[in-house]
Amino acid sequence: MSALAALYAGYSSLILLAGVAALLALSVYVTLMAGQLSLGNAALAAIGGYTAAILTRDHHVPLWPAVLAAAAVATAAAVAIGIPALRLRGIYLALATLAFGEVVRAAALNLKITGGALGLINIPPLAGFWQVYGALAGAALFFYRLERSRVGRAFAAIREDEAAARAMGIKVTHYKVLAFAIAGGLAGVAGALAAHFAYVITPAQASFTEAVNILTFAVVGGTSTFVGPMAGGVLLTVLPEALRGLREERLLLDGAILMAVTIYCPNGISDPRLWRWRRARR
């Protein structure tokens, strides 16, 4: 066994969780690109996870068709809540999406098909390194192109000044719904993959805490380019495990990191200026 394989054997669940966190952070990032704050992504991921798990576990569908179905269902859900909710701005949108998340959580808790509080257990372990990081690489490539496309520029225009964007003839609502749809698809894929290496999915997947975690990945990583959310997702997943020795202080450190990053590096840890500055001093 090579050193790399040994490392993976010892940390695979952490490595996979980090990849999924990066995907989820990207799904929040795409709405932030268009200036929208969503707290519903955890619920969208849960919808994806449940969909895929039901397909593979009960109907023996292979992984990728199940993931695609999950993405489709989550996208549809995102568009369905997106169209009415996108009339709202800023914090109101955040609260509406939060309410949506709680409805999903309560529904998952009460429906038969989602297994109630127990959730779905014994999900076949179909997702491994290549599936998760393949999806992440695909998403990264997609964002690399998106940021440089007409759609990306439209998102940025809406984020900077919605009224001005509208005046320039950008179909604001159209682009907002598009951003929500992409977010839904990504969250659906992330949720579907996560369910297939965690063996279980439960209503807690859609909880407020989870939604806040995902947002935190993006903000700590930085939202100026797609690299930031990915870095944030990976870092904030690995860090608590790396700090396991400081067990008692874990929460405290998490909190301190969140505050320090938002206050002292407002553009996240991936801010190019932050790194340039370091290099310049050297």
Which of 76, 144, 151, 162: binder of another protein (CB under 8 A)? Answer: 162
Residues numbered 169 to 208 that lie near another protein (CB under 8 A) are 172, 198-200, 202-204, 208
Residue 112 touches another protein, criterion: CB under 8 A: no
Residue 282 makes CB contacts below 8 A (sequence gap 6+) with none
User: The tokens of 115 are what?
Assistant: 């297994």
Contact status: 11 vs another protein (CB under 8 A):
yes
DSSP state letters, 194-227: HHHHHS-B-GGGGSHHHHHHHHHHHHHH-SSSTH
Say how many residues touch another protein, by CB under 8 A.
69
Per DSSP, the three-state class of 224 is coil
Interface residue with another protein among 103, 140, 227, 243 (CB under 8 A) is 103
142 belongs to the binding site for another protein (CB under 8 A): no
DSSP label at residue 201: B
Looking at the Cβ atoms of 141 and 253, the one nearer to another protein is 253
- 80 near another protein (CB under 8 A): no
Strand partners, 201: 120
Q: Does 263 bind another protein (CB under 8 A)?
A: yes
Kindly compute the dihedral angle of the four CA atoms of residues 104, 109, 113, 115, in this order, to the nearest 10 degrees: 140
3-class secondary-structure state, position 120:
strand
Torsion from C-alpha of 216, 217, 223, 227, nearest 10 degrees:
170
Residues of this chain that bind another protein (CB under 8 A): 9-14, 17, 37, 81, 84-92, 94-96, 98-100, 102-103, 105-107, 109-110, 116-118, 121-122, 125, 162, 172, 198-200, 202-204, 208-209, 212, 215-216, 219-220, 241, 244, 247-252, 254-259, 262-263, 266
